[in-house]
């Protein structure tokens, strides 16, 4: 995972570490990023399954700097490596798309959020619905794997709207849709205008139906993909696999117990690397209990579900015997099914995944 923090506009609801693009010194930033990559390359013992540029808005980065950065990883890439970049519709033009493709980027994740112009305005987005759809068509003409983000649970949004938007995204050429429930801090003026959970679940159910008609699988609570277009990068997170993390505020994981986080300040990040130091800010060694929580919470959100055999082998704990009555209740209420030692939540069950996970721990 590579974090590129710069954004043209800082959205009021954003939780990620971001910085204003107008203050960016891209050459200097990428020099530091290249140094961090070189420090980490010796740790790669096998070809990369996925390389993911997240942010921020990575698409505001000069394409030649992205290309040179990807070149550092070239010996570890295969024709099969998924190379994703998050992009904003405002940065989509034929030159950029061609340059990204030439750099090896084979998947674009586009921050559409909505296809309703007043909603986009309320969310503080700089693009329009028309430009978002046009962007998908343009990307899809060069790069065959295009994901689009949608937000549902928006104040004053009709129930059917997210599904209508999801259908339009698929028709424009999106191969993957991520639909996120809008979350707003309780102190924010929009918070009290949010619809209740039941309304938002109805919205996502309609999204799932609209996309299923076009062959998309609802493979994780928030994610829908055509067969073979599921996000490999996210799949690795959900399976608890290892990943390196580069860039300010990026989090890494060794696949076992150790997590680490880089400093969340791009200028401090650049300074440290320039001076021969490390951008590392925190390291955390997870306890068995913390790992258990992560495994249960992430796996129940996916279509693969919670593998009870693997859980027993790893944590010496038999969830099936301990929660026999609860499992039976979940099956009876059609919230989950149990087969081949896997607990898989139904659509409604996945909407309650966090509550169900909490009961198992
Ligand atoms: S563009 Fe995306 S990353 Fe940047 S501030 Fe807005 S929501 Fe956050």
- Tell me if 11 CB under 6 Å of ligand 1: yes
Please report the DSSP string for 140-195 in residue order. Answer: HTT-SEEEEEEEES-TT--TTHHHHHHHHHHHHT-SEEEEEE----TTSTTGGGSP
Output the residue whose Cα is nearest ligand 1's atom 6. 11
The CATH number of whichever domain residue 71 belongs to comes to: 3.20.20.70
Question: Measured in angstroms, how far is the CA atom of residue 357 from the centroid of ligand 1?
Answer: 29
Is there a single domain that holds both residue 34 and residue 159? yes
pLDDT on residue 306: 96
Question: Measured in angstroms, how far is the CA atom of residue 337 from the centroid of ligand 1?
Answer: 37
Instruction: Tell me whether residue 35 is in a domain.
Output: yes
Instruction: Tell me whether residue 306 is in a domain.
Output: yes
Instruction: Tell me whether residue 350 is in a domain.
Output: yes
Is there a single domain that holds both residue 176 and residue 324? no
Is there a single domain that holds both residue 71 and residue 186? yes
- Tell me if 20 CB under 6 Å of ligand 1: no
Please report the DSSP string for 190-223 in residue order. Answer: TGGGSPPHHHHHHHHHHHHHHHHTTT-EEEETTE
- Tell me if 233 CB under 6 Å of ligand 1: no
Is there a single domain that holds both residue 155 and residue 298? no
Instruction: Tell me whether residue 261 is in a domain.
Output: no
Atom of ligand 1 nearest to the CA of 15: 8
pLDDT on residue 210: 97
Is there a single domain that holds both residue 292 and residue 153? no
pLDDT on residue 167: 97
From CA 264, how far away is CA 3, in angstroms rounded? 10
Instruction: Tell me whether residue 19 is in a domain.
Output: yes
Helix (H, G, I), strand (E, B) or coil at 29: helix
Question: Measured in angstroms, how far is the CA atom of residue 182 from the centroid of ligand 1?
Answer: 13
Is there a single domain that holds both residue 321 and residue 213? no
- Tell me if the bond preceding 295 is cis, omega within 30° of 0: no
pLDDT on residue 299: 94
Question: Measured in angstroms, how far is the CA atom of residue 7 from the centroid of ligand 1?
Answer: 6
Domain count of the fold of the chain? 2
Dig out the tokens for 254 from the structure: 């060794």
What is the Cα 13 distance to its own chain's centre? 16
The ipTM (two decimal places) reads: 0.99
Q: Could you state, in chain order, the average pLDDT of each consecutive group of 10 residues for the chain (361 residues)?
A: 95 87 97 97 93 97 98 96 96 98 98 90 84 97 96 90 96 97 79 86 94 96 96 92 96 95 98 97 95 94 94 93 95 94 93 93 87
Q: Using alpha carbons, list the distances in angstroms from residue 11 to 8, 22, 96.
A: 9, 15, 23
Q: Are 271 and 263 in contact (CB under 8 A)?
A: no
From CA 129, how far away is CA 138, in angstroms rounded? 14
Instruction: Tell me whether residue 247 is in a domain.
Output: no
Question: Which structural domain range is residue 318 located in?
Answer: 288-360
Q: Are 37 and 23 in contact (CB under 8 A)?
A: no
The CATH number of whichever domain residue 293 belongs to comes to: 1.10.10.920
């Amino acid at each position: 995972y590579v974090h590129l923090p710069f954004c043209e506009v800082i959205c009021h609801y954003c939780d990620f570490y971001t910085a204003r693009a107008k203050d960016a010194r891209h050459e200097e930033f990428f020099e530091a990023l290249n140094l961090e990559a070189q420090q980490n390359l010796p740790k790669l013992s096998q070809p990369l399954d996925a390389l993911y540029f997240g942010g921020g808005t990575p698409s505001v980065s000069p394409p030649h700097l992205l290309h040179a950065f990807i070149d550092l990883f070239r010996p570890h890439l295969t024709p099969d490596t998924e190379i994703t970049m998050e992009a904003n519709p405002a940065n989509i033009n034929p030159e950029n798309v061609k340059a990204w493709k030439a750099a090896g980027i084979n998947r674009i994740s586009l921050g559409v959020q909505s296809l309703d112009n007043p909603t986009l305005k309320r969310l503080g987005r700089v693009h329009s619905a028309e430009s978002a759809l046009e962007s998908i068509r343009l990307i899809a003409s060069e790069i065959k794997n295009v994901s689009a983000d949608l937000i549902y649970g928006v104040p004053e949004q009709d129930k059917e709207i997210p599904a209508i938007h999801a259908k339009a995204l698929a028709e424009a050429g999106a191969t993957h849709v991520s639909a996120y429930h809008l979350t707003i801090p309780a102190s924010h003026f929009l918070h009290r205008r949010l619809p209740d959970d039941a309304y938002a679940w109805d919205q996502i159910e309609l999204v799932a139906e609209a996309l299923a008609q076009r062959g998309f699988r609802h493979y994780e609570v928030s994610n829908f993909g055509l067969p073979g277009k599921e996000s490999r990068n996210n799949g690795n997170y959900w399976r608890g696999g290892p990943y390196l993390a580069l860039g300010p505020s990026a989090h890494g994981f060794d696949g076992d117990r150790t997590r680490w986080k880089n400093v969340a300040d791009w200028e401090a990040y650049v300074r440290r690397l320039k001076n021969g130091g490390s951008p590392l800010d925190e390291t955390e060694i997870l306890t068995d209990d913390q790992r258990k929580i992560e495994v249960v919470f992430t796996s129940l959100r996916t279509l693969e579900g919670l593998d009870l055999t693997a859980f027993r082998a790893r944590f010496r704990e038999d969830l099936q015997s301990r929660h026999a009555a609860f499992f039976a209740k979940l099956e009876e209420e059609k919230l989950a099914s149990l087969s081949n030692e896997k607990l898989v939540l139904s659509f409604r069950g996945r909407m309650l995944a966090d509550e169900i996970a909490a009961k198992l721990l």
